[in-house]
Structure 1
Amino acid sequence: MPQNNKIHLSYSSHRDQPVVLIRFDYQHEIHERLKQFEGIRWSKTLKSWYIPEVAFDLHTFFEAFRGEAWVDYGGLKKERNILISKESVPNRPRYNLKAIKAQLTDDVHEKIQSFKKWMEQKRYSENSIKTYIHQLEIFFGFYASKAPEMISNEDITSFNNEFIMKHGLSPTFQNQTVSALKLFYERHYCQQLQLENIERPMKAKPLPKVFNKPDLERFFHAITNPKHKMAMMMIYSCGLRRGELVNLKLEHLDSKRKILSVINSKGNKDRIVPLSDRIINKIKEYYHTHKPEQYLIEGQFAGTPLTASSLQKVFEKAMKKARINRPYTIHCLRHSFATHLLENGTDLRYIQELLGHKSSTTTEIYTHVSRRSLQNIKNPFDDLEI
């Protein structure tokens, strides 16, 4: 085992929830293995990976890194060195995720695994599969005494009241549970449940956040690493999602036809995005300097893609260096691409195609944040002679 491969575990809190912090000096192998853990997240404020305490199992963690890294769990032996104040924590009962999933019967576990294989064969995204299986294991673990075919709409309503609401879980958790059950029962039980009658929480409809032009220029000027700048320029100039950028291969670029092919994107759809002469020149300059082998933006090792977490660090570092304090995210570059196109007079139908939106309704949200459209509205106050 390499002597430098050490992982330090300790208790902490994040957003008023108890978590286990996972800190280590960056090692690619450890980083990639950590990403496989269910529920693991990166916290910008804590500057650490963490797993909710209810989802953390020390024995499983040890086994995952046996022979690869030394796990220092001294911080878990002691009393919590960072306690959550009673005033900051809502008086909500906690649940033991491991114990709930352990209640699954062998028959139900087999059905869920069969459903997982079916989702994989249907080429659902890795995130969708992981989320749906997680929701099903919790739901059927909660109803371990009932066979799936005996579950009714009333049981789902009770689960919402007695588990989701009781533990203060999010509307997203509630929606994901209903969606997972809907697909599971369609697959295994020919839609015995009338899930269309299940009440779902109202969805929030926040407007997309858009970079203004001065902030955008400061952001790009703050990135000095050519590879990192190329990554961010591609996201903005082509309206790419983060996953589309990291999976972008050289074979997807056609400089002669001036197009970029986005392959197997969200919803398993392909689309074509035009490349401007300026971005083509930037790509050629970058290619001749860095000579990537397979992916346009490669990671630490040749032929491997840059990870989404590395891309996030690049973005955060550039934001900090540019001293931009607005709540922008990487995805805001895609929002900005769409909004700036609209402000330049591009038809909304073309923008829909460029972004790969299934419905024009999704694209129409950009009309609400287009500065030029808003400025064209004449305020009736201006007509008053006062």
Structure 2
Amino acid sequence: MSIVVKKIWHRDAYRIAVFFGYDSEKIRIVKTIGGKYSKTQSCWYLDYSADAYRELKKHFTDLSIENPKELQQTPSVTGNSRDLSPIAQSENQLDSLLANNPEHKVAVKPLAQQLRLILLDPIGKYWVFKMNYHYQISKSLLAIKGVYWNGNYKCYMVLRHPKVKEAVEALLETSPFFGEDYLSKEPNYKGEQIKITAHQEDTSWMEIHIPRIVAIHEKLKRFSMVRYSKVNQCYLLPAAPMVYEAVQLQMEPLEVLLLNALPKGYLQAKHLPNKKRLDLSATKQSMLDQVPAEGHEPLTKMLNTLLALNYSHSTMRSYAGAFIQFLRYFEFKNPESIAHQEIVAYLGSLMERGLSASSGHSMVNGLQFYYQQVLQLRGFEFKLPRPKKEKKLPTVLTMDECLRIFQMVDNPKHKLLLLVGYGAGLRVSEIVTLQWQDVLFDEHKIHIKNAKGKKDRMVMLPYSIVQSLKIYKDLYKGKHYVFEGQFAGEPYSTRSVQEVMREALKKSGLEKKATVHTLRHSFATHLLENGTDIRYIQQFLGHSSIKTTTVYTHLTKAAVDKIQSPLDRMVDLNNKKKLE
């Protein structure tokens, strides 16, 4: 597959455009030499320089340049040609061209103009703006306290505070950019009304009629199950008591009046869509969006089979993701026509590129599932080579190191979620989805529901944090989730929990690489060191097999300290003889 290069004008400068079909190895190489992908141009691109072209030639021998006839002509230093011939003819000529040709001397534009800053209407307590992506500036923006990236709307949200405004405007080299409408000058929506009525077409939904106010629109658009009806010109939400309460909570800070025009008994819990159903539907659609039309048929068959066998959305994502990569490699040809040896060669090429054993197993599992479950080729012996799994010991913190990390966290909510994770040995997903109804204070237990492998289990609720949890509950007034996110009624994100752990680890000065899951490993190891039976630890962690839990027997410091090296014994005996 040849690589075509071309000179283009992109992001206010000339670039070397690199065109080739999907190839993960070529993508990896282009990234290593500084390449970026342009959705607008549908290609990868590099800076228009001799160094960039040399790097391309160094890594790819099959380069071809668009308009080859023009390359036969000797390029003129003063010419106005816009092809890539200077690069093709000589890198030295390109250096000269860039130095002397006025065409290539692009005037340095102000940063705001380069970033194409666009200020949008403020939403609640935030200013909102968009800009072209710039790695360093984007990274610096998010490092400013009070600046957030909204992935849904692809925009930055800046807290309306004088210090935040000053820091952002200094970084963007644009002042003034935001207005003076700080939080103290937030408009009051008192007197505005939202009318909630029954939905005639389907009684499992309710209609939310709102005034033409951007802040209220944005509040409703954040609901994960919301739909907009163009016919009725209103938002639709499930007609469930929990959803109605969530709308009340969201509108309360805006002082907007809710007019409930629903018939008596219209709100019912059964109208609330099942979260599992929503997750599965979203996963299925996101997988289908990743492949062109010719790949839909085999992928749809696989997804439907996964759904029929009641696999979780995370397993769907893993298996389907592996299958999509497989289809791309063979350019979406019919999987039934691909020979066994071709598949083995494909897996071998992945491992050759440095794919981990765990990822290799996922690839094999996805392909085994398709050929055995979807195509029903059970009579056909389809044995794929399994990559040998690396036996890595998990990182474990000592009790003193855990204490140092907890002491670095000042925010009571952040400290408590880390304490719960360590004290009960929870996964990060179990921390964020923990609900108050599952915390059994009287029994000093926590009921973990529908965890990994669709299993429930009971874990300990540490006595030392019971009082703190009760105080926290009174302070934060959460109705459902123990650790609520930025918006009422929504769980805390796993990414935020990991960020809390990263900050605490950084402040503690520890050199170990640790995550929230490291606290779970530490919980198991410390229990084992304290003499707890390994089968109890297996139940606490929710492991299906005792083999998974036995890894912690290699990590217990107390057990290792009791074992003496034969060298130490030899030295001790020798010293003893000398004394005699």
1:9 match: 133
Instruction: Determine helix, strand or coil for the equivalent of 2:509.
Output: coil
The superposition leaves residues 228-261 of structure 1 with CA deviations (integer Å, 9 ceiling, x where unpaired) of 0110001000000011111111111111122111
1:231 to 417, 433, 443: 417
In the alignment, structure 1 residue 347 sits paired with structure 2 residue 533: yes
Q: CA offset at residue 138 of structure 1?
A: 2.2
Cα offset, 1:281, TM superposition: 2.0
Deviation per residue, 1:303-350 (Å, 9 max, x gap) = 111101111111111111222221112111000100000111100000
- Pick the aligned partner of 2:435 from 229, 232, 249: 249
**How big is the alpha-carbon RMSD for the aligned residues of Structure 1 and Structure 2?**
2.8
Mapped partners of 1:120, 1:27: distance in 2: 39
Higher-RCO chain (CA-CA 8 Å, sequence separation at least 6): 1
- The answer (yes or no) to whether the contact 1:105–1:144 under 8 Å persists in 2 is no
Of residues 7, 31, 40, the one that matches 2:151 is: 31
Instruction: Give the structure with higher Rg (CA).
Output: 2
- Match of residue 135, structure 1, among 288, 299, 322: 322
Give the unaligned 5+ runs of structure 1.
13-20, 35-67, 69-100
Shift of 1:126: 3.1
Q: Deviations over 1:94-136 (max 9, x none)?
A: xxxxxxx76x663x52231232244345443433322322221
What one-letter code is carried by the residue in structure 1 that aligns with 2:297? E
Moved more, 140-149 or 316-325: 140-149
Q: Which moved more, 1:270-279 or 1:215-224?
A: 270-279
Shift of 1:137: 1.7
Secondary structure of 2:553's aligned partner: helix
Higher strand fraction: Structure 1 or Structure 2?
A: 2
Cα distance change of structure 1 residues 354 and 170 upon mapping to structure 2, 3 Å threshold:
closer
Q: Could you list the runs of 5+ residues in structure 2 that have no partner in the other structure?
A: 1-119, 122-126, 155-217, 219-289, 576-580
Establish whether residue 373 from structure 1 lines up as the match of residue 559 from structure 2.
yes
Answer yes or no: is the 8 Å Cα contact 2:301–2:374 preserved in 1.
no
Question: Which one of the candidate residues 243, 261, 268 is aligned to 2:454?
Answer: 268
Q: Using the aligned pairs only, state the percent identity.
A: 33
How many pairs does the alignment contain? 310
- Choose 248-257 or 355-364, whichever is displaced more: 248-257
Tell me the residue number matched to 2:337.
Answer: 150
Q: CA deviation at 1:165?
A: 4.7
Whole-angstrom distance in 2 between the partners of 1:309 and 1:367 = 30
How far apart are residue 371 of structure 1 and its match? 0.5
Q: Where does 1:269-284 land on structure 2 (aligned, <5 Å)?
A: 269-284=455-470
Q: State the partner residue of 1:363.
A: 549
- TM-score normalised by length of structure 1: 0.72
Determine whether 1:297 maps to 2:417. no
Q: Distance in 2 between matches of 1:148 and 1:337?
A: 45
Alpha-carbon separation, structure 2, partners of 1:122 and 1:250: 31
Deviation at 1:7, TM superposition (A): 4.9
Q: Decide which of 355, 361, 378 is 1:175's aligned counterpart.
A: 361
Return the offset for 1:148: 2.2
Note the C-alpha offset of 1:203.
1.0
TM-score, scaled relative to structure 2:
0.49
Contact 2:438 2:448 in 1 (8 A): yes
